[in-house]
Structure 1
Amino acid sequence: MARGLGKGLGRGLDALFQENSQDEVIEDLNVSELRPNPYQPRLEFDEAALSELSESIKMHGVLQPIVVRKTIKGYDIVVGERRFRASKLAGKHKIPAIVKELSDQQMMELAIIENLQREDLNPLEEAKSYETLMNHLKLTQAEAADRLGKSRSYIANLLRLLNLPQEIKTMINQKEISGGHGRTLLSLKNDEEMIEVAHKVIKEEMSVRALEMYIKERNEEGATSEKKETKEKQKPKFLVKHEEKLKQHLGTKVEISKSRKKGKIAIEFTSEEEFNRLINLLENVGE
């Protein structure tokens, strides 16, 4: 079933639940018996949006049932956590629900898919969802892009945000800077420099375009202030070219070095999940 779910990612949740839909029964479940999906990748729920939905539920009720899985302790929410939270705010004691028999694996996939189909995910939540889904289903960036109806470059650029320092990730989550700012900051040399410039972006309310220009000028000034390396010590152009290709393909920092007799390719990862994603990509090269 899990692989079947993976093949249908681009079709939407309705298509995923179409199987056995004739036998589905909508039940009114006690809100107190429900608990959020333990595999929910979403980090933030907009309080204003929840309040607005809560007011709508007070007037019209819950128009679309949530989907749950029965457990020993009650029910896990598979799809519809926003409706559940808004119903609690509205003081509702019961909520319409469809009870499904699903594995932990299916619950994780459906939680990710539901969130990816929403338009108000922040860039890091979306990136994390892509990473989790790719690792979980062992998909390459190209395969994930094809199944989700996205371009590979779009997914690759979002995944790069996961390499940002935690301080900058917090800035993005708090909407102090955008995902576009985050991707641009990745062109700087190290975490300390990224954080320094990120604070400047907030203080001066810089647009992404203004940040791009600032970093370009900063890099140019830094280059002219340093002594030029001799041609023998400069990195060959073909290595730079392949280094950039690997960076784009893997969505992380890559360093290629070469001596007279041997060379080395260093691929950076910041977590076990990131490591597994990179291993998956490398194992699928050429397939």
Structure 2
Amino acid sequence: MAKATKKQALGRGLSALLKDPANDITSVQDKHADQVIGNIVELDIDAIEINPFQPRTNFNEESLRELASSIKELGVIQPITVRKLNFNKFQLVSGERRFRASKLIGLETIPAYIRIANDQESLEMALVENIQRQDLDPIEIALSYQRLIDEINLTQEQMSDRVGKKRSTIANYLRLLKLDPIIQTGMRDGFISMGHGRAIINIEDQSQQLDIYEKIITNKLSVRETEALVRNFQTDKQPAKTKEAVEIPKYIKKGVKDFSDYFGHKIDVKVSKNGKGNITIPFHSEEDFNRIIKLIKRAK
């Protein structure tokens, strides 16, 4: 208990140091920077602003209230991380749920690790740390990976090293962004899982994706049932194989003309590659059928 009290007192002492304009710290080379940067400091909550680079956009209200209740009983066990902006002004890098929950119960200060980082470093820190959390939905993770590609210019290989995930795992998340936005929203809201999304993504046309999505929701399909549905859908959409046309020999062409003239109808002849074939004689009524029968009997 004595250690915790000493640590808390140290945090308050550093907080006072940060509020001294004569000792404002703007870089790691500044006086007292080694005492502040990378250490836990009790910061005024009002001196901290939300990180615009935060990849997380959904905050469950019930979950926040539960966390707030825990913080009220036990305090903030894991400090948040901030970066210093200006004099006594800080920006969240990670820990927004803890920050929001603390504000919810009216805390005036919060323990925080202080970093000095530029915008790009702050973005990367926020994205990488949040990707490793367990409570982000698949689309939030996919969007974080995409931002690391677009804004930090990281390759999938580099991301694999930074976040400790296989490249194939990263690729699977990124593919989810090819889903129709309605389906992405459904995944974020928990109507379908990432497994459902990975099955649907095998359908390229987004209108067809929505047809599959509607069936999943209506029939409460499992991931395996969805995979089977997608396979059947793809089979149904495959064009029928056309048989290679066989050149009709001249003797058949001449004979067909004679048949047509004799029966008074266009006679259809189909020939296979081995020379075998079928002759089709059409008729239009019972009377026409009987007429053809008479012509055949007469030919005997």
* TM-score normalised by structure 2 residue count: 0.64
What does the per-residue CA deviation read over 1:213-249, in whole Å, with 9 as the maximum and x for residues that have no partner? 11212222333xx4425679xxxxxxxxxxxxxxxxx
Q: Which residue of 1 aligns with 2:67?
A: 53
The answer to whether 1:168 aligns with 2:217 is no
Q: Which residue of 2 aligns with 1:269?
A: none
Query: Contact 2:37–2:113 at 8 Å: present in 1 too?
Result: no
Query: Contact 2:128–2:162 at 8 Å: present in 1 too?
Result: no
Q: Which residue of 1 aligns with 2:171?
A: 156
Deviation at 1:126, TM superposition (A): 0.8
1:220 is aligned, of 235, 246, 249, to 235
The answer to whether 1:41 aligns with 2:52 is no
Deviation at 1:20, TM superposition (A): 5.4
Q: Which residue of 2 aligns with 1:206?
A: 221
What does the per-residue CA deviation read over 1:26-63, in whole Å, with 9 as the maximum and x for residues that have no partner? 33222222221111111212323222211111011112
Flag the 1:160–1:189 CA change in 2: closer, same or farther, 3 A. Answer: closer
Separation in 2, partners of 1:68, 1:23: 10
Q: Is the radius of gyration larger for structure 1 or structure 2? A: 2
Separation in 2, partners of 1:168, 1:31: 37
Of the two structures, which has the highest relative contact order with CA contacts closer than 8 Å and spacing of 6 or more?
1
Q: Which amino acid letter does the alignment assign opposite residue 224 of structure 2?
A: R
Provide the secondary structure at the position in 1 that maps to 2:76: coil
Matches within 5 A, 1:44-193: 44-72=58-86, 74-193=89-208
Separation in 2, partners of 1:51, 1:160: 34
Flag the 1:212–1:57 CA change in 2: closer, same or farther, 3 A. Answer: same
Q: How many residues align?
A: 212
Provide the secondary structure at the position in 2 that maps to 1:62: coil
Separation in 2, partners of 1:145, 1:98: 26
Query: Contact 2:128–2:163 at 8 Å: present in 1 too?
Result: no
What does the per-residue CA deviation read over 1:56-99, in whole Å, with 9 as the maximum and x for residues that have no partner? 11011112322222334832111221110110112212112233
Q: Tell me which stretches of 4 or more aligned residues in structure 1 moved more than 4 Å.
A: 19-25, 229-232
Output the aligned Cα RMSD: 2.4
Separation in 1, partners of 2:100, 2:141: 21
Flag the 1:148–1:70 CA change in 2: closer, same or farther, 3 A. Answer: closer
What does the per-residue CA deviation read over 1:82-126, in whole Å, with 9 as the maximum and x for residues that have no partner? 110110112212112233221111110111011111011111111
Gaps of 5+ in 2: 1-32, 246-300
- What percent of counterpart residues are identical? 41
* TM-score normalised by structure 1 residue count: 0.67
Separation in 2, partners of 1:53, 1:194: 37
Query: Contact 2:120–2:152 at 8 Å: present in 1 too?
Result: no
